[in-house]
Structure 1
Amino acid sequence: MQEREIAPGYAQAEQSEVSSVLRNTYGLLSMTLLFSGVVAYVAQQMAVPYPNIFVVLVGFYGLFFLTTKLRNSGWGLVSTFALTGFMGYTLGPILNMYLSLPNGSDVVASALGMTALVFFGLSAYVLITRKDMSFLSGFLMAGFWVLLGAVLANLFFQISGLQLAISAGFVLFSSAAILFQTSAIIQGGERNYIMATIGLYISIYNLFISLLQLIGVFSSND
């Protein structure tokens, strides 16, 4: 009898914690996306140049590891906004490049709309079905190394058509990551809402940039 009373109580506490992480994650994600968008708009309006690749790498990974280290403290929120603000800053020059095209505003709007559709669609699917997507971990690990190798090859050898393949690969990778990360929250595998927010934010950022590149290429061929 006692075991029967403990089990439902534990399940209820577990579900309460999952709901709390989910609520905090989407709340923080909304704020970071808004903040990042404002920073991107300011950078775009000021026509700032795209930072050196080494500045981008040091800035991103430095702030990412700092956020990971501070994830259990209030300073983790500060570093989260610093990271997403920095990524918004790098987005400004990219937007300017596409907005300078004849149909640039349509390209940006289409990429933004598709990103929102993919994110909300995949998130809703996991939240409604409650399916465990942990089986995607192997695909994500393999995809990471394949994409990293492709990016390095394209950086040094400038292979024709490879950038397009990389963008398509990142769309699939980011979509799978959104499924995996959302599932990890509702299955109780991710208990830290700061890390959950960062994971989803990076997936959304990569998805938007990749769709921007794909739509930009295909629209220019019309």
Structure 2
Amino acid sequence: MQTRSAAVALPHGTTLDRGTAHRVLRNTHALLAMTLLLSAAVAAAAVAFRLPAPGPILTLAAYFGLLFGIHRLKNRGAAVGLVFALTGFMGWTLGPLLTRTLAMPAGGQAVMLALGATGAVFLALSAYATTTKRDLSWMGGLLFSGMVVALLAGLAAVFFEIPALALAVSAVVALLSAGLILFETRQIVDGGETNYVLATVSLFVSVFNLFTSLLQLFGFMGSDD
């Protein structure tokens, strides 16, 4: 007779084996680490070779196209390949932003500050999400709505060329991205997300948005020196 492992209670009344939740979290963090390394390597290559930005049309087409493929193939091995394709592409889009930031007087310092702050925030929130007993499910709708509003405000800032609004949007996106890291990690622990491929993509996008937002904020502050 098999012994029953500790289980995690889910909101809808079902249970998830705690070992399964930990395995999903472990696989997610392992894949996330590899995708972050790939994205960083591609971004560094984009800076070194001064690659131009892919442009809004190609960026949107590649981003949503790869996301669609990942969701369609989420239970197949091919989905992992698409995850690496997506994160590598996002590294390319990061390259031009890094190039502009590094060209500033304190650009190198801004990059290091953004990188360090992103790592510290991710580690702190991940540790809290895996140990807290609080129900964080209420955060999902609020964070999603906030991101939609921030996206619209960001588009307005670009279209109407309002630097102050763009800076405010970066600050808001940084806060929302931190909240999403907390929420998404807790979803894995609670069994709300059992597919490590989808969990990796969600966390990667949140970490990516947090880093780019902090980079823009620190870069702006460094430009005043």
The TM-score normalised by the length of structure 2 is 0.91
For 1:41, the aligned partner's letter is A
Tell me the CA shift for residue 10 of structure 1. Answer: 6.7
| 2:120 is the counterpart of 1:117 | yes
The 8 Å contact of residues 43 and 91 in structure 2, kept in 1 or not, is answered as yes
For 2:7, the aligned partner's letter is A
| 2:141 is the counterpart of 1:133 | no
Cα distance in 2, alignment partners of residues 141 and 116 from structure 1: 23
Tell me the CA shift for residue 144 of structure 1. Answer: 2.0
For 1:93, the aligned partner's letter is P
- Matched with 2:149 is 146
Q: Percent identity?
A: 45
Cα distance in 1, alignment partners of residues 144 and 92 from structure 2: 28
Change (3 A) 1:46 1:186: same
- Matched with 1:87 is 90
Of the three residues 179, 187, 191, the one matched with 1:184 is: 187
- Matched with 1:75 is 78
Q: Is the deviation greater in 9-18 or in 69-78?
A: 9-18
Of the three residues 51, 55, 59, the one matched with 1:56 is: 59
Change (3 A) 1:10 1:120: closer
Which stretches in structure 2 are left out of the alignment for 5+ residues? 9-15
Cα distance in 2, alignment partners of residues 39 and 78 from structure 1: 16
CA RMSD after TM alignment: 1.7
Tell me the CA shift for residue 123 of structure 1. Answer: 0.7
| 2:27 is the counterpart of 1:21 | no
- Matched with 1:210 is 213
| 2:7 is the counterpart of 1:11 | yes
Cα distance in 1, alignment partners of residues 144 and 98 from structure 2: 30
Cα distance in 2, alignment partners of residues 109 and 175 from structure 1: 18
- Matched with 2:35 is 32
The 8 Å contact of residues 111 and 215 in structure 1, kept in 2 or not, is answered as yes
Q: Is the deviation greater in 211-220 or in 76-85?
A: 211-220
Q: Is the deviation greater in 125-134 or in 90-99?
A: 125-134
- Count of matched residue positions in the alignment of Structure 1 and Structure 2: 217
Q: Is the deviation greater in 154-163 or in 117-126?
A: 154-163
The TM-score normalised by the length of structure 1 is 0.93
Of the three residues 166, 172, 177, the one matched with 1:174 is: 177
Structure 1 stretches of at least 4 aligned residues deviating more than 2 Å after TM superposition: 8-13
